[in-house]
Structure 1
């Protein structure tokens, strides 16, 4: 039942994305676009009203007395946020901060429905403690319970606390009281205005699709109007190719004071999904490879494989955050073999959702990446220095 609901949800999501980016034509698609446009106008009013209510203090934010860094984006998905969160957490930890990453755990396993219903009916605050993905010593949850990104961050950052809860004021308080944290990183937190205090707002902009199709949800992929970029203290241009003059000019018009950092997702090595064996980047050079992914922008990932010298003979794409079944992996192996692929490559974010399989006709590796700063390194160090009060 759960699998069929997930499959139906993903098919609707794929259809809507095709409609939003006008890859579907015809009467039905046009009608859906008209409906989405009307809804986006309502959404715009809701966003501006909510912001106004926070500004005039009708809706109250909370201060926990520690440093808060919100890392997020104006658009939905695909900016490469997780490696940036990891870079900040690692740098702050190296500077002596006690860091906790607070995530809402997108598509993680929610609390029991009965408990959530009772809390809503009785207007009670959820007293359930946040889920502890990592206590800074051990990995305590799997990817299904934690969510893809929190699990991946906890796997890569062994000495950083990672908590999951929709209420990040609650999880922030928990991080301070239980783990003595003095720095809270809000993963996907630019729109989370409930937690303020000493706060830095870091916004990521994808060079390839800076503001999506320039329309708000649900007609487009913008969560807020581009003018709201003015709140950012630092802006990362991700997936940069160095040709960003026009984008920088647009950013400067929206926010003339923010530091701008350009970066790329730099591949480090390949790691076998099942055995953990690591290989250098020369692994795929001049070899036939297949790609397998369930991410927001698979084209960027596939291009990175060809850039490393791989000959991409087959690619299988799923909806973002898709949880793979054993049969789907086996089908991908069979089709890759038919195209004479020598190995299958996936992303680390996808690898955490892989099921165990008995048949391994082809080796399956994920590519481990990190953020590499191309320009604005001084702005990054200044940003870290401000956080650390140095």
Structure 2
């Protein structure tokens, strides 16, 4: 979907910004929330038991469906402990990949196929090739397999706050700092929440992502996380460095793409067009022949899939998003995880 110079707001985002969404969606949202409370209650009351493994597991998640930079923070945490000499494994769910319901273990440096293990797992592998990666929907089985294979000192689980079967020693919940932390307050499909705000009682800490002053005070440890675009990385080694004054065509298939495009405008990029695809898009089904002899700018999550399908004459670059927590966060996290 071409949006011209600036990213517009998708139909879903427009509904989620309404204080009172359509009645049918609100009714469905209440049913969804009721089902979630029943599921969570089964664990809270002990009717279902969470599996505890003999290794610290740090969970990174959110109440939001997407667009709060969970994966960049997962990468930052795993990199921090790896640089401290710890044996770290990252757990990724692999959504969108053919192996989603299987256990896939990737050794450091092992090539990952986004259509096999999902684009977010490949984003982690592309950005953090030196750390083992365990992928699959069934997190308990994945974590046990990773524990047997690598005997890590700790694991970092990406996008796992709503996955209750696997216990964590620390659960980090990411919320946007520059807008209402709970959106319009509704769960899916009337709002952006995966579960009601009461779910924060399971959290160890809240991380305010990005610029802006948080609009809510919470009875939890809170930390600020700056988000910064790194230098563009060519998707092919023979591409020259990208001059920021070069006109670019933006392509992306992520949650809340308008935030990515707005960041590019604020960074001074000369954007000729914007093409927005659904989150976790399969670019193999798109007609990209019109991008011959152009320069494309995208996210890492999209770039791991676009590199194989763009025309050979297209120069494509990915912009890594870096999550940079405030200094006090690391000391707190080491203590909270008993590391």
Shared fold by TM > 0.5? yes
User: Is contact 1:288–1:311 with CA below 8 Å preserved after alignment?
Assistant: yes
Report the counterpart of residue 383 of structure 1 in structure 2.
333
Mapped to 1, the partners of 2:276 and 2:64 lie a distance apart of 21
CA deviation after TM superposition for structure 1 residue 109, in Å: 1.0
Task: Note if 1:363 corresponds to 2:325.
Answer: no
Structure 1: segments with no counterpart, 5+ residues:
1-13, 23-29, 117-127
TM-aligned CA deviation for residue 145 of structure 1: 0.3
Alpha-carbon distance in 2 for matches of 1:276, 1:59: 54
The whole-number CA distance in structure 1 between the counterparts of 2:187 and 2:276 is: 25
Structure 1 segment 148-297 matched on structure 2, within 5 A = 148-196=119-167, 199-209=169-179, 210-240=181-211, 243-245=212-214, 247=215, 250=216, 252=217, 255-264=218-227, 266-275=228-237, 277=239, 279=241, 283-285=243-245, 287-297=246-256
Q: What CA distance in whole angstroms lies between the structure 2 residues aligned with 1:276 and 1:350?
A: 19
**1:52 counterpart = 2:25:** no
Q: Is the 8 A contact 2:62 2:173 kept in 1?
A: yes
CA-atom RMSD, angstroms?
Answer: 2.4
For 2:7, the equivalent position in structure 1 comes to none
* Secondary structure, aligned partner of 1:269: coil
Aligned with 1:184: secondary structure?
strand
Q: Report the TM-score, using the length of structure 1 for normalisation.
A: 0.77
Unaligned runs of 5+ in 2: 1-9
Aligned residues: 327
CA distance in 2, matches of 1:317, 1:34: 28
Bigger Rg, structure 1 or 2: 1
Describe the shift of the 1:288–1:355 C-alpha distance in structure 2 as closer, same or farther (beyond 3 A): closer
Aligned-partner Cα distance in 2 for 1:165–1:290: 33
Q: Is the 8 A contact 2:16 2:190 kept in 1?
A: yes
Deviation at 1:271, TM superposition (A): 1.8
Deviation at 1:155, TM superposition (A): 2.0
Match of 1:8 in 2: none
Whether 2:7 is the aligned partner of 1:37: answer no
Give the whole-Å Cα distance in 2 for the aligned partners of 1:357 and 1:165: 25
Residues 57-72 of structure 1: matches in 2 within 5 Å? 57-72=46-61
For residues 157 and 232 of structure 2, what CA distance do their matches in structure 1 show? 29
**Aligned mates of 1:72, 1:200 — CA distance in 2:** 11
Partner of 2:5: none
Shift of 1:15: 5.8
Kept after mapping to 2: 8 A contact 1:97/1:388: no
Name the CA shift for 1:156/1:355 in 2 (closer, same or farther; >3 Å): closer
1:302 pairs with 261, 267, 281, which one?
261
User: Contact 1:326–1:355 at 8 Å: present in 2 too?
Assistant: no
**SS, match of residue 274 in structure 2:** strand
Structure with the larger helix share: 1
> Cα deviations across residues 343-382 of structure 1 (Å, max 9, x unaligned)?
2211111111115358444422111231134xx3212332
Output one character per residue of 1:269-302: Cα deviation in whole Å (capped at 9) or x when no partner: 112223364636xx213x3222111111222221
Alignment-derived partner of residue 316 in structure 1: 275
- Measure how far apart 1:50 and its partner are: 1.8
**1:358, 1:89 → 2: CA distance?**
31
1:89 match: secondary structure: helix
Rounded to whole Å, the distance in 2 between the matches of 1:327 and 1:262 is 35
Give the SS at the match of 1:230. Answer: helix
Deviation per CA, 1:18-61, whole angstroms, max 9, x where unpaired?
Answer: 55556xxxxxxx8xx33322221111112222222111210111
> 1:326 Cα shift?
7.2
Question: Relative to 1, partners in 2 of residues 1:257 and 1:58: Cα closer, same or farther, differing over 3 Å?
Answer: same
Note closer, same or farther for the CA distance 1:89–1:277 as it changes in structure 2 (3 Å cut): farther
1:235-261: CA deviation from partner (whole Å, max 9, x where unpaired): 221122xx305x2xx1x2xx3231322
User: Quick one: higher RCO (CA 8 Å, sep 6+), 1 or 2?
Assistant: 2
Write out aligned runs for 1:116-131 (5 A). Answer: 130-131=103-104
8 Å CA contact 2:178–2:213 kept in 1: the answer is: no
